């Protein structure tokens, strides 16, 4: 057994005082004369024995009461086997959850304020030699060092709510990275959080030499509706056309959310409004329509009204309306006039015709669609470049002439891999069905005719029927023959036509279907733009601009912030790395000198929107693979629990109980002992 305040043991010398009083009884006796005392002799002898016993019992009770009073002040405890000498070498890491959910309130105020008060209680439970780490969701470099108690309390006052969100395993790994190198010390972790539910449910692991204490901060139940995400029905954005934006809302409460108003603003101008009801714990979507956009980058703000949780009531989006789409038509002797004429009917399409001997391979990634029109052969160098182009997200359309070198096309198409021509069929064939359910033909027909006129062929290519492809047939002939198909190759698409373009072998180029097919091929080259980024989830973005390496200095900025990111080139575009320098939701411009390259919208993480928390049993299950203990954060505080955890079993309360018990025994002896003896006589 050990004592927390052993200096109080010197007070045990006070036990001599009752003994001295007992030995030197200063009571004065008064002499009383009786005429006959022979009847008093037996009574005097019996009373003397009883009085002596009474005095000894009172002395014992007084000594014991005084002894246990001294022991209570000395605070005896029985140390844990694993915590010997802990007061001399403790390393303590305290994590304060300062995410958005800690803005919620309970009877003690905000959860963050209560967490700070609990952190102070924790520091008060250790002596001045203990070193502390203060960790929050910000994960700054300053939080990777140990502090004295006074330094800890000063840093604690500077903890504010942040948009950063960390899962529990990441937090423990961060704390462990500082604690584990500390040899010959007792390592303890404290997690002060509301322990909001995470998806998926974690299974925490930690080093066996680190003790983990969980301090749940309880919040009142709060209803919340959040804007979860948004997306466009079409990835194609052209000037002046009608746009349809789908907004997805989520109800995080157990009651129906009624009449939630939605507003849509683009470039500061209100474009649409809506109103929606959402069932309990369900999602709901609303489609907002608008038009009249001009070419360039668009800044979109979607808002709802929902109190008291407001950080997830707005969503920022950004996207670019293209003025033109760039296309490349690669030919042999002369460009196909039908393809050139088709794209010249709409100024939105900017078609470049290039001979196979004049191709600028470095610029292929700048085209939304590359068309191979009637090339007799595919050179190996061109095949390799086209394969890379498709894998990086480009769209390729292949129209083969009947005089083509089939082996050349077979070698090329096999590398993608897609179906390839096996032979030329000289039998006439009519296309008899189109895949009207495929998105490729969306909005092509106002109403599909009963007897649809489809292209006719005098000759066509027999295509292979590979099973290991992502083929989706668009036009059928002869029941199940593949005449036009699209293949998804990594990020890109490949269209392969078995219908020749030569007018003497088919009427495809003169058919009404030819123009919409070419247009859809070009528009499908638009990959879905990423409408927004999430703060804290990734320290980089990718913009669809290439060729920015070297001496190019790019900047990411808004009204209050300007940073110069690290720049790397990737197949998908240019990657910009900025670590954790962006912390506020806003529209950030990416510029090169005075040239605007992109606008990126950053939003708060939605993981904090669901105000549901883990109960004690679930926490025990999550931390079952660690030495974790749950400390109650009730009104009585956690200081005593921590001291018991640090020191071992504490007996000062038992000592106080014994003090009161022996004082009560003394009172009973003084009051009732004589009366009992007199009744017996």
| pLDDT 10s digits, 344-369 | 999 899 999 999 988 999 889 889 99
Using alpha carbons only, give the angle 295, 298, 302 rounded to the nearest 5 degrees: 145
If pLDDT is split at 50, 70 and 90, which confidence band does 470 have? confident
**How deeply is 337 buried, as exposed, middle or buried, from its count of CB atoms within 10 A (0-12, 13-18, 19+)?**
exposed
Q: What does the pLDDT read at residue 215? A: 93
Interval 380-395 mean pLDDT: 91
Q: Domain range for residue 16?
A: 2-74+651-680
pLDDT at 43 over 60: no
Query: How many CB atoms are located within 10 Å of the residue 311 CB?
Result: 20
Question: Is it the case that residue 537 has pLDDT exceeding 80?
Answer: no
pLDDT digits (tens, 9 = 90+) for 332-344: 988 999 999 999 9
Strand order in the sheet with 429-434: 349-355, 325-331, 369-373, 395-399, 492-497, 481-489, 471-477, 429-434, 456-457
Q: Is 444 within 8 Å of 484 (Cβ atoms)?
A: no
User: Per-residue pLDDT for 662 more than 80?
Assistant: yes
Asked if 393 and 503 sit in the same domain, the reply is: yes
Task: Supply the CATH number for residue 276's domain.
Answer: 2.60.40.10
Question: For the ranges 74-88, 285-299, 605-619, which has the lowest average pLDDT?
Answer: 74-88
Q: What is the pLDDT of residues 425-442, one digit of tens each?
A: 999 999 989 998 888 888
Q: 91 and 6 in one domain?
A: no
56 has pLDDT over 50: yes
Q: Is the pLDDT of residue 144 over 60?
A: yes
Within this chain, do residues 296 and 373 fall inside the same structural domain, yes or no?
no
Domain presence at residue 581: yes
Exposed / middle / buried, residue 239 (Cβ in 10 Å: 0-12, 13-18, 19+)? middle
Q: What does the pLDDT average to over 530-558?
A: 81
Residue 674 pLDDT > 80? no
Any domain includes 531:
no
> Does residue 55 surpass a pLDDT of 50?
yes
Distance CA 44, CA 65 (A): 31
Which domain CATH number covers 174? Answer: 3.40.50.410
Residue 583 has a pLDDT of: 85
For residues 625 and 659, membership in a common domain is answered with no
As a whole number of angstroms, the distance between CA 119 and CA 108 comes to 15
Give pLDDT, residue 331: 94
Percentage with pLDDT > 90 across the chain:
52
Query: What average pLDDT does this structure show over 304-325?
Result: 91
Rounded Cα distance between 681 and 45, Å, is: 12
Identify the band that residue 47 occupies on the pLDDT scale cut at 50, 70 and 90: low
What's residue 547's pLDDT? 63
For residues 495 and 68, the model is more confident at: 495
**Is the pLDDT reported for residue 37 higher than 90?**
no
% of the chain beyond a pLDDT of 70: 89
Q: Distance between CA 574 and CA 548 in Å, rounded? A: 7
What sign has the CA pseudo-torsion 613, 618, 623, 628? positive
Residue 606 lies in a domain: no
Residue 518 has pLDDT above 70, yes or no: yes
Q: How far is CA 243 from CA 110, 142, 228, 482, 516, in A?
A: 42, 47, 20, 34, 20
Which residues, including other chains, have CB under 8 Å from residue 501's CB and lie 6 or more apart?
336, 338, 339, 373, 374, 399, 401, 508, 509
The pLDDT of residue 490 is 85
One domain, residues 107 and 216: yes
Domain boundary among 292, 322, 352: 322
User: Does residue 212 sit in the same domain as residue 229?
Assistant: no
What pLDDT, on the 0 to 100 scale, is given for residue 570?
74
Q: Is residue 80 part of a domain?
A: no
Tokens of 308: 């008291």
CB-CB contact of 338 with 509 (8 Å): yes
Is the domain of 346 the same as that of 453?
Answer: yes
Overall number of domains in the chain: 5
Q: Give the closest residue to 276 by CA, choosing from 250, 288, 258.
A: 258
Query: Looking at the predicted structure, is the pLDDT value of residue 475 above 90?
Result: yes
Q: In this structure, what DSSP letter does residue 388 have?
A: H
Q: Is 288 within 8 Å of 261 (Cβ atoms)?
A: no
Which of these, 155, 121, 317, lies nearest to 237 by C-alpha position?
317
Most confident by average pLDDT, 243-257, 623-637, 664-678 = 243-257
Same domain, 188 and 233: no
Q: Share the mean pLDDT of the chain.
A: 87
Are 344 and 464 in a shared domain? yes
Q: Is the pLDDT of residue 21 over 80?
A: no
Question: Which CATH number covers residue 368?
Answer: 3.40.50.880
Do 349 and 251 share a structural domain?
no
- Asked, for residue 592, whether it belongs to a domain, the answer is no
Q: Which contiguous run of DSSP H or E holds residue 648?
A: strand 648-650
pLDDT tens for 72-116 read 888 787 766 555 544 457 899 999 999 999 988 888 889 999 999
More confident residue, 445 or 654: 654
Taking residues 386-402, report their average pLDDT.
92
50 with 8, same domain: the answer is yes
Residue of higher predicted confidence among 167 and 639 = 167
The CA–CA distances, whole Å, from 460 to 105, 402, 498 equal 73, 8, 6
Is residue 157 scored above 80 in pLDDT? Answer: yes
Per-residue pLDDT at 87: 44
Strands (E), 100-176: 105-106, 109-110, 131-135
- Please give the average per-residue pLDDT across 135-162, as a whole number: 93
597 domain-assigned: no
Given this model, what pLDDT does residue 78 score? 74
Asked whether residue 602 is assigned to any structural domain, the reply reads no
Answer whether residue 593 is part of any domain: no
Contact between residue 62 and residue 16 where contact means Cβ atoms under 8 Å apart: no
**pLDDT at res. 61:** 86
Is the same domain home to 469 and 350? yes
């Amino acid at each position: 057994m050990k004592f927390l305040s052993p200096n109080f043991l010197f007070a045990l010398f006070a036990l001599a005082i009752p003994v001295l009083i007992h030995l030197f009884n200063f009571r004065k006796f008064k002499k009383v004369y009786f005429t006959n005392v022979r009847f008093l002799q037996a009574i005097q002898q019996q009373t003397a024995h009883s009085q002596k016993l009474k005095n000894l019992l009172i002395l014992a009770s007084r000594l014991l009461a005084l002894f246990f009073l001294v022991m209570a002040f000395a605070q005896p405890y029985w140390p844990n086997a694993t915590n010997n000498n802990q007061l001399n070498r403790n390393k303590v890491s305290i994590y304060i959850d300062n995410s958005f959910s800690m803005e919620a309130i309970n009877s003690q105020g905000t959860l963050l304020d209560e967490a700070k008060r609990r952190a102070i209680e924790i520091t008060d439970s250790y002596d001045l030699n203990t070193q502390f780490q203060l960790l929050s969701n910000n994960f700054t470099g300053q939080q990777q060092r140990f502090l004295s108690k006074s330094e800890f309390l000063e840093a604690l006052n500077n903890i504010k709510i942040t948009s950063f969100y960390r899962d529990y395993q990441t937090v423990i790994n961060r704390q462990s990275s500082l604690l584990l190198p500390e040899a010959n010390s007792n390592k303890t972790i404290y997690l002060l959080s509301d322990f909001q539910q995470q998806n998926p449910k974690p299974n925490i692991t930690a080093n066996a030499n680190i003790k983990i204490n969980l301090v749940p901060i309880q919040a009142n139940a709060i209803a919340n509706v959040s804007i979860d995400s948004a997306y466009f029905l079409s990835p194609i954005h052209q000037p002046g056309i009608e746009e349809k934006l789908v907004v997805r809302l989520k109800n995080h409460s157990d009651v129906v959310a009624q009449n939630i108003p939605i507003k849509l603003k683009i470039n500061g101008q209100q474009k649409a409004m809506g109103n929606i009801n959402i069932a309990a714990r369900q999602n709901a979507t609303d489609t907002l329509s608008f038009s009249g956009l001009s070419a360039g980058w668009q800044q979109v703000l979607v808002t709802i009204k929902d109190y008291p949780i407001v950080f997830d009531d707005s969503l920022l989006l950004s996207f670019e309306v293209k003025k033109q789409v760039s296309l490349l038509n690669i030919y042999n002797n002369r460009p196909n006039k039908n393809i050139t004429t088709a794209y010249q009917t709409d100024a939105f399409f900017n078609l470049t015709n290039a001979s196979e001997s004049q191709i600028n391979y470095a610029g292929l990634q700048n085209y939304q669609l590359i068309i191979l029109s009637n090339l007799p052969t595919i050179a190996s160098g061109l095949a390799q470049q086209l394969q890379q182009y498709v894998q990086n997200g480009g769209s390729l359309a292949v129209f083969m002439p009947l005089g083509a070198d089939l082996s050349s096309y077979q070698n090329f198409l096999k590398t993608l891999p897609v179906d390839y021509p096996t032979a030329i069929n000289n039998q006439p064939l009519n296309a008899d069905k189109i895949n009207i359910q495929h998105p490729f033909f969306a909005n092509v027909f106002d109403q599909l005719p009963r007897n649809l006129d489809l292209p006719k062929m005098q000759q066509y290519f027999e295509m292979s029927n590979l099973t290991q492809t992502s083929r989706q047939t668009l036009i059928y002939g002869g029941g199940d023959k593949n005449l036009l198909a699209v293949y998804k190759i990594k990020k890109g698409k490949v269209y392969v036509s078995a219908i020749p373009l030569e007018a003497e072998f088919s009427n495809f180029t003169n058919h009404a279907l030819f123009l919409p097919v070419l247009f859809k091929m070009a528009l499908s080259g638009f990959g879905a733009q990423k409408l927004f980024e999430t703060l804290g989830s990734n320290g980089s973005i990718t913009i669809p601009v290439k060729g920015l390496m070297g001496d190019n200095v790019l900047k990411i900025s808004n009204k209050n912030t300007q940073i110069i990111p690290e720049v790397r080139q990737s197949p998908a575009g240019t990657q910009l790395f900025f670590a954790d320098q962006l912390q506020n939701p806003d529209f950030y411009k990416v510029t090169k000198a005075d040239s605007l390259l992109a606008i990126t919208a950053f939003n708060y993480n939605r993981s904090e929107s669901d105000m549901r928390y883990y109960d004690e049993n679930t926490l025990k299950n999550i931390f079952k693979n660690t030495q974790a203990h749950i400390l109650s954060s009730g009104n009585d505080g956690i200081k005593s629990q921590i001291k018991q955890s640090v020191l071992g079993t504490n007996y000062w309360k038992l000592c106080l109980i014994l003090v009161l018990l022996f004082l009560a025994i003394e009172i009973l002896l003084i009051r009732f002992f004589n009366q009992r003896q007199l009744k017996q006589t």
